[in-house]
Amino acid sequence: MKSAPNRVVVSGLRYEISSLNSYFHVVFSITVVIAVEERVLGADISQSSSNPFNLAIYDVNRDGVNLETRDKRELPPANTRLVCGNISSPQCTVFETAQTSCLAVSPICNGVCKASLTTVASGLNNIYDIATDSGYVYVVNANKGNVEKFKLDNNPISATQPTVVASNLVNPWGVYVTSNYVYVSDTFNHQIKRYAKGANGATVGVVVAGGNGGGSAQNQLNYPYGLFVDCAENIYIADGHNNRVVRWAPSATTGCTVAGNAGGKAGSGLKELDFPIDVRFDKQGNMFVVDSNNYRVLKFVSGSSTGIVVAGNGQKTNGFNTAIGFYVDACDTVYLGATRGVIKFPPGTNGTGIPVLQVGYTGGIAVDNTGTLFVGLRGGNVVQTCTLSSGQVTTPPPTSKTNMDLSS
């Protein structure tokens, strides 16, 4: 987290809530920090030094920052952002909706793969996550400790001549590509690293989350797997062995928990996770988590810490326990790469899934904004593609905050 100045002076009125813990049932041992949206306003972090339980309330909007009087019992305004860091509890105090306006989402819903397969990447060894961007496919080549970039130009030679973007990783799992960076989960080093898109094998990369050994403290990760980076560069991480999903803000030195038990305890309730391996968001800001050892995918509606089961029935059917690839389309159909290939769960279906592509043991999957499906075939150590067409679109059921609690 950026170091905060002693005071930030902004004209206007201010009202401080004292003894925050008595109203929000959250016990803090040191100062609470509030941050405004830096990417919109360019503002810095202000920190109260007079009372460790004081909290200044800001009304933040795209035109400026206004300090205003609020009743003590009111929550902070919806557009005020709590930055996780200097608090004793690693649980995020307020569920923050990911910034997803920049996401390029394929219009294909409930996809059906009818076209023949084309190989776009080969010579790999143990394929995990896949990402696409601007005419390239990025592949986690786990046994080599690399992330490799293959050009998509219909030239067969390109499928055999990748550029190494990240190297010297230890059993990497996840990759996520934004307009400027490539983010990689360096899983067995318990950290997330960031690389410029023009990086090569000699590039060291920057640690942007974790990097303090494996553990469950705020500044640690414990075998991070899949990840998602929103438009404000907040990183959402499936912190696998900590049984939680954590969020790290840009330049932060600590993260906070947005799903699962902050202390790392596994569970099967709808507020609990057991070995999550990936996280995605849809365009509306709903979060989806592959809860691997509970054999399900949970959807967390913005503002709720209680999941809704949208895929799986708590059983290993269709190889759910070996799922690696994960994608959510524009209509919230969930796709998984599993033992027999790619399976999908249209909204409201749950159950065991519907086959999309039966190609055997499958690693990472991705869909670009044109509707091309990329599939990592772990048996053949290649990435192949097919063009998706829309199947029958189903209407998502009414949102509910309770659904199929496996703990009961």
Residue 289: give its domain's CATH number: 2.120.10.30
| 117 and 72 both lie in a single domain | no
164 located within any domain: yes
* Amino acid in the structure at residue 167: S
Pair 225, 309 in one domain: yes
Q: Max Cα separation, the chain?
A: 67
| Pick from 270, 252, 251, 250: nearest CA to 260 | 270
Mean pLDDT, the chain, as a whole number?
A: 78
**Phi/psi zone of residue 369: left (φ > 0), alpha (ψ -120 to 50 degrees), beta?**
alpha
Buried b / exposed e across 25-37, counting CB within 10 Å, b at 16+?
eeebeebbbbbbb
Structural domain span for residue 51: 16-82
Mark whether 230 and 347 lie in a shared domain. Answer: yes
Asked if residue 134 is part of any domain, the answer here is yes
Whether 38 and 116 share a structural domain:
no
The answer on 129 and 57 residing in a single domain is: no
Does residue 21 sit in the same domain as residue 146?
A: no
- Beta-carbon count within 10 A of 251 CB: 11
Decide if 99 is inside a domain.
no
In whole angstroms, give the CA distance from residue 342 to residue 351: 15
Domain presence at residue 51: yes
Residues 134 and 277 in one domain: yes
User: Alpha helices of 323-397 — where are they, by DSSP H?
Assistant: none
**173 shares its domain with 301:** yes
Assigned domain for 206 exists = yes
Q: Are residue 205 and residue 343 in the same domain, yes or no?
A: yes
Q: What tens digit of pLDDT does each residue of 178-207 get? A: 999 999 999 999 999 999 998 888 889 999
Global model pTM greater than 0.85? no
pLDDT at 96: 64
pLDDT at position 64 = 36
Domain assignment of residue 89, yes or no: no
- Is 353 part of a structural domain of the chain? yes
Q: Is residue 308 part of a domain?
A: yes
Q: Which residue in 222, 371, 359, 347 sits closest to 297, CA to CA?
A: 347
Contact 190, 223 (CB under 8 A): yes
Question: Into how many domains does the chain fold?
Answer: 2
Q: Give per-residue pLDDT as tens, 259-303.
A: 999 999 999 999 999 999 999 999 889 999 999 999 999 999 987
Query: Do 55 and 115 share a structural domain?
Result: no
pLDDT at 76: 31
59 lies in the same domain as 155? no
Tell me: do 196 and 123 sit in the same domain: yes
Intra-chain end-to-end CA distance of the chain, in Å: 40
